[in-house]
Structure 1
């Protein structure tokens, strides 16, 4: 009998794996395994040590050591936001949060004016605890007239230049990328914009003066590995950026991260919990120094419970995942190291484009145009369901109502579907799915069409499958439904569509499920419903047509 300890397995090469993959694809091209991201980066189906070393030109150890040297020691700080209608609410929430594991007094959206009394109460908090203030209202900066502990540590997050010379440990120089993020920015664009903002700041300051007060702030989106790579890439870029100013040994750069609301939805709101958890974990693996997790219902109105869940999301990662016990959890990953390198190269190239256009402020027209294009691509991907927002543009609960409340207002990809659902509620219509054939042959397309209609809050009547064309004609002739989708196999559809639309009522809008070369629209068919269609545009057009019919 063979001694198992003496058995050796031959290491397959990439070409061996590729050949096996081609066989498994059964005729599909090997290139179908490649995915191109919105950053223009092509994700490979397999990464190897050889491909990684080729990508980084053999400088993998240098890349990893640079990332680690640019990260300050210690685990990330939990910075859960406090909200309130009064300063007393904010103070009470903040004190309770500190007792329950929060490490930074963090001011979220408030519904009161920052008068002298509010500023003095906040100042007492800031004197005792580290803090992060996102400046939505510059009046809050008046708090520093009352803060007694001048040595307290904190971050002032703002797109404007802030100066607090009496507080040496408060970081006020911020590469603020949140506005760009909510305008649709890719990871490449965010990284480049952060550098361009800093370059503009350095026109009136030295690098050595700036780095003691500097930090970068990023929103972390749901693309897990891209988010990890984005944070790691900024540390590489910071070292290169410092070198351009003659600084060979810059201080570790601080990065403040928060979960993104760009993919949050008012619909199926608990899915936002999953999005936030995904984003938070990627931020920590990437190496964020401070993390804020937004509550799952912050779009409508956060509650004490949702704030606690958000805070505990960060605490579970910190205390139970053990990820903070590793200096660089993603270091050495063939995939993430490659992605990090590609982001660095692309971001540096885009940064140079901005500089050639005169710098961040001078290049606003160019940046705005590029961000508009990115947002349009993101929105198109959601509306065609290339990007899935679970519970909103796919797997939606058709009976759910869109909440009318709005607590925060940022660009979100789900907004178009929320508005579509509201429009159908205000102008109701009845829908039906007419199935022709057997249950087995029609069910996949029936489920698909039903899912499409659910995104607008429509619950269709679904007929029993029939193979009798007269029964189908009779149904379509007598139905009171405003909108009917015919479901059949391609072969059956070619035989029945013209017969069915010939007998339909002029008031009934009829589509057919599937993508056909035959054009039946001239004979009364409204159009087609198929995978890859812009669902939002299709249903918006149906809604508009229904309104015209009902006039």
Structure 2
């Protein structure tokens, strides 16, 4: 048996040595060409070493109080919209028997009868939470009274009230801020008897779902949090009572590692705020409720949303969330089916019971890459937060339109990147399911100062809606179809063919046929006999007879790839060239118009 110890006997490598090896492989190409920037302006390096790593400051919460639970514990939440107490109670009991650890009752109508709503539910053994878009502080007081009346052990009560006064205002709900602050302060005072129930909530999901990048999401959340702290301390609440009653909710999106780093960076910043308010606390006291993103979902090929839910849930768990709600993957289509609610509940269960993510507290600890982006995110978010504080209070910035303006800019940048295929969305801008039936649900960012969730694929959905409405009016034969012609089996031609499928698919254009020609001489005959609306010609080397071949073609002819003399080719009958630098939305909108689609 070898006695080599790989951790001792190998020479330690330095970053400079790795860089030198990479530069040799680049053969004169600039090393900086390998560095990419994120929407937050964070450079992603081609490799990371311990030299970029700092001491680990944030680790995931460790569950040690209950020996029957795993060391990495999170609450698997199930949400119920309450319209009838008995029906909601029945649904909650069923969910608890099928893997839920907690129930979130969404209540925006009348205050429910808690005796009916919570019949046969044991609050000491599951987390009971409430959610509303309008203030329902009396409901939380009633819940505390209910718990006392039923003689439940206050130390065993877990849950939260997911209502954010300022977030409610930010979405356009008429809110009496000063009155709500006083009601919140009253509830926080009662909250001391139930130390594990969190009655004060900060909602960061709205920023993410409205399109903010991660740095903006963190800085606005910190700004809003400090405004709350100032208002509540002015109402004579002590800072410890406020922190002990606080929970935060974050939406988790597509950028897996950055979403993990986001929460750890946020906790670092909150610890700074705790210190500024002379409160001694730890990262484990910062309670994070996670939910899957609305922004990352699409109505196009909606089953792909299930896969997105899985990776988003995993990043939330690895980030150290305390509870997790997975929204059913068909939510973007409207009301969710019961089967899909069940699937959503099982996402968290599978990650716990089959992927064993509850067995290791923090598998991300010591990751050079994550530690680097964590620290960079925290620094950028903290700097931006201080800039916001210098500009004024969060509410003042919101009222003057600054918050909406900045988030809109982030949203537009990402939505256009998606439309231009710089950010890939399976089913929307690549590998589309042409011919699927779905409800046309167009979204646009509102012109007013209020925030609203908006899908990153909304530009593509709007474009596809033109085609789908046309097909609905004309029938299946009304769908524009294309023929793809490859000159030889060259890999370049095949790559251009693959690109053409996805490019045209953005507009809902189907592919009627894909033909491979062994000789350029066959091109003219194939073009003249083509029965589709469009023809896309893919090649490595441009055929000499291209202009002659398209002379009598009734279809619109596209060339896959850039041609320096595109204008001259258009004069000879080519409709245009499609490639990665094409203005996708502009080109496809005009193409649909020229095909007679309104």
Query: Given the two structures, how large is their TM-score scaled by the length of structure 2?
Result: 0.80
Deviations 1:470-495 (A, max 9, x none): 75445545655333333233432xx3
Question: Which of 91, 114, 121 is 2:116 aligned to?
Answer: 121
The separation in 2 between residues aligned to 1:262 and 1:380, in whole angstroms, is 14
Instruction: State whether residues 551 and 573 of structure 2, in contact with CA within 8 Å, keep that contact through their aligned partners in structure 1.
Output: yes
Question: Which of 203, 217, 221 is 2:230 aligned to?
Answer: 203
The separation in 2 between residues aligned to 1:116 and 1:371, in whole angstroms, is 34
Structure-1 residue corresponding to 2:31: 30
Shift in Å, 1:248: 4.2
The separation in 1 between residues aligned to 2:90 and 2:524, in whole angstroms, is 67
Shift in Å, 1:178: 1.6
1:374-523 aligned at under 5 Å gives the runs: 374-404=410-440, 410-427=453-470, 428-433=478-483, 435=485, 437-440=487-490, 442-462=493-513, 464-466=515-517, 472-473=523-524, 475-477=526-528, 479-492=530-543, 495-500=544-549, 502-505=551-554, 508-520=555-567, 521-523=570-572
For residue 82 of structure 1, give the secondary structure of its aligned residue in structure 2.
strand
Instruction: State whether residues 294 and 310 of structure 1, in contact with CA within 8 Å, keep that contact through their aligned partners in structure 2.
Output: yes
Greater CA deviation, 163-172 or 360-369? 163-172
The separation in 2 between residues aligned to 1:459 and 1:142, in whole angstroms, is 54
Residue 255 of structure 2 corresponds to residue 235 of structure 1: no
Question: Which of 211, 214, 225 is 1:184 aligned to?
Answer: 211
The separation in 1 between residues aligned to 2:289 and 2:304, in whole angstroms, is 24
Residue 327 of structure 2 corresponds to residue 277 of structure 1: no
Shift in Å, 1:291: 0.9
How many pairs are equivalent? 532
**CA pair 140-100 structure 1, distance change in 2 beyond 3 A:** farther
Instruction: State whether residues 259 and 280 of structure 1, in contact with CA within 8 Å, keep that contact through their aligned partners in structure 2.
Output: yes
Structure-2 residue corresponding to 1:310: 344
Structure-2 residue corresponding to 1:286: 319
The separation in 1 between residues aligned to 2:140 and 2:228, in whole angstroms, is 25
**CA pair 217-45 structure 1, distance change in 2 beyond 3 A:** same
**CA pair 5-213 structure 1, distance change in 2 beyond 3 A:** closer
The separation in 2 between residues aligned to 1:432 and 1:231, in whole angstroms, is 46
For residue 395 of structure 2, give the secondary structure of its aligned residue in structure 1.
coil
Query: Given the two structures, how large is their TM-score scaled by the length of structure 1?
Result: 0.86
Shift in Å, 1:432: 2.5
For residue 424 of structure 1, give the secondary structure of its aligned residue in structure 2.
helix
Q: Which runs of 5+ in 2 are unaligned?
A: 66-70, 149-153, 166-179, 234-238, 443-451, 471-477
Structure-2 residue corresponding to 1:9: 10
The separation in 2 between residues aligned to 1:274 and 1:235, in whole angstroms, is 28
For residue 331 of structure 2, give the secondary structure of its aligned residue in structure 1.
coil
- Tell me how large the CA RMSD over aligned residues is: 3.3
1:77-92 aligned at under 5 Å gives the runs: 77-83=75-81, 86-92=84-90
Instruction: State whether residues 419 and 457 of structure 2, in contact with CA within 8 Å, keep that contact through their aligned partners in structure 1.
Output: no
Shift in Å, 1:460: 2.5
For residue 388 of structure 1, give the secondary structure of its aligned residue in structure 2.
coil
Q: Which runs of 5+ in 1 are unaligned?
A: 54-59
The separation in 2 between residues aligned to 1:278 and 1:17, in whole angstroms, is 31
Shift in Å, 1:320: 4.0
Deviations 1:471-524 (A, max 9, x none): 5445545655333333233432xx34443554445xx53322111221324554
The separation in 2 between residues aligned to 1:479 and 1:249, in whole angstroms, is 72
**CA pair 372-15 structure 1, distance change in 2 beyond 3 A:** same
Structure-1 residue corresponding to 2:331: 298
**CA pair 435-317 structure 1, distance change in 2 beyond 3 A:** closer
**CA pair 71-403 structure 1, distance change in 2 beyond 3 A:** farther
Shift in Å, 1:416: 2.9
**CA pair 474-97 structure 1, distance change in 2 beyond 3 A:** same
The separation in 1 between residues aligned to 2:583 and 2:577, in whole angstroms, is 11
The separation in 2 between residues aligned to 1:238 and 1:443, in whole angstroms, is 52
**CA pair 477-6 structure 1, distance change in 2 beyond 3 A:** closer
Greater CA deviation, 119-128 or 394-403? 119-128
Question: Which of 344, 359, 363 is 2:378 aligned to?
Answer: 344
Residue 405 of structure 2 corresponds to residue 363 of structure 1: no
Residue 335 of structure 2 corresponds to residue 330 of structure 1: no
**CA pair 116-443 structure 1, distance change in 2 beyond 3 A:** closer
Structure-2 residue corresponding to 1:539: 588
**CA pair 412-203 structure 1, distance change in 2 beyond 3 A:** same
Instruction: State whether residues 127 and 148 of structure 1, in contact with CA within 8 Å, keep that contact through their aligned partners in structure 2.
Output: no
